[in-house]
Structure 1
Amino acid sequence: MSQETTATKQEEQKTSELQQQKKEEQKPQQATTTTKEEKKTKPEKENFEMVINFRRVIMGRKTTRTKRAIKYVRYMVKRHFGAEKVIIDPLLAKAITMNGRDKIVRRVRIAVKRIGEKTYLARLAIKSE
C-alpha cells in the first residue's frame, strides 16, 4: 500500500510541475518600456562599409549632381549612424566625379569610421581581394 501511495504522489508532483511550466509559458512576457531617447540612439558602430546607390541623385539637373551626391552621402551616414557631423574624404569626392561633374558614378562603396563622439569620416573603400 505504501508503494502505491508514493507512486501516486510522484505522479501528482510531476503533473503539477508540468502544469506550472505550461502556465509560465502561456504568461505574456512583460514588455519593457523604452523612452523616445533610447529609440533615437543608433547602435554604436566603429568601422563599417556600405554601398551607396546614386539613382536618386542622377535624376535631375546635370549641373547640380555632384553637390547632391555629396549631400546624399552625408544624409545616408547621418541616417545609419546617428551622426551630427560627417567629414567627406577628398578622395571620395574625387571618385564620385571621376567621369566629370555632370556624369557621376552610379554607386560607390564607402568605409565609415568613427572619429569623435558623434563625428564620422566617410572614405572610399578599396576592395581587398
Structure 2
Amino acid sequence: MACLLVVVVHPTDPSGRLGQWLREAGLELDERHLGAGDELPETLDGFGGMVVLGGPQSALDDERTSPELVGVRELLRRALAADFPTLAICLGAQLLAQAGGGRVRTGIDGPEVGALLVAKRDAADDDPVFRPCR
C-alpha cells in the first residue's frame, strides 16, 4: 500500500473528503497536523507522494508571522528537486509556486474565500498521486 504524506497546515483545512477518496483508493495517509505540533519528516523517503493543504495564512507571511510555513516551503523545494509526486491545494499551491521560483501576490479584488465542489475524474487513474494501487 502506497503511503502519502499529507501536510495539514491548519486545522481549518483538513484532508476531509479528499482524504476519504484517497483512502478508498487504497492509499495509506500519514497526516501531519502542524497546528497540533506534528513535525514534518526530514526526507520524503518512504512516501509515494505528498499532498499539501491550505489554511488562513498567507504565502507572503514571513517566518515571524507564520513559522510553520518555513518547513513546508523547504519540503516543497525538496519535492520539486526530486520530481516527487505532489498535489498542493490553495495555500499549499501558493507555497509550491514560491518553492519553484514563482511569484505570489495579493489579489486585486481582495482575498478569495469559498468552497467549491471538487471531484476525482477518470483521468486520475493514470496520475502518479491518485491512481489506484497496482
Which range, TM-score by smaller chain?
A: under 0.3
Structure with bigger helix share is: 1
Output the TM-score relative to the length of structure 1: 0.22
Structure with bigger strand share is: 1
Q: Which structure has the larger Rg?
A: 1
Output the TM-score relative to the length of structure 2: 0.22
